Amino acid sequence: MKAIFIAFDQAYYERIVDLLPSLGCRGFTAWQEVQGRGTRTGQPHYGTHAWPSLASAMFTMVEDDHVERVLNHLHEMDLETPKLGLRAWVMPIEQSI
């Protein structure tokens, strides 16, 4: 089992919520308002007057054989609108209850 942490512009929220179950990923935890800035070219998402946009984040657990398919779909979304910003990281899950 793997965990995928996804950080993205809020504009992607509903698309990602709809995408995950279509790929066999039912459960997730989401934070709808987070702040941050990409490491390379990302614009700040601070929710301030100067930088008014905010980001969202999501954490989902998936079976190992679902990871590539999820990442491919997320990557396609990012390529469609690269200025919005979308990143995902995969981590192993050693144990759960």
pLDDT in tens, 6-29: 999 999 999 999 999 999 898 999
Third-level CATH fold of 2-92: Alpha-Beta Plaits (3.30.70)
> Which pLDDT belongs to residue 54?
84
Q: pLDDT category, 76, cuts 50, 70, 90?
A: very high
> How many Cβ atoms sit within 10 Å of the Cβ of residue 8?
23
Q: Where do we find the tokens 């700040």?
A: 44
Q: Are 3 and 88 in contact (CB under 8 A)?
A: no
DSSP string, the chain: -EEEEEEEEGGGHHHHHHHHHHTT----EEEEEE-B--SSSPPPB--SSSS---EEEEEEEE-GGGHHHHHHHHHHHHHHSTTT-EEEEEEE-----
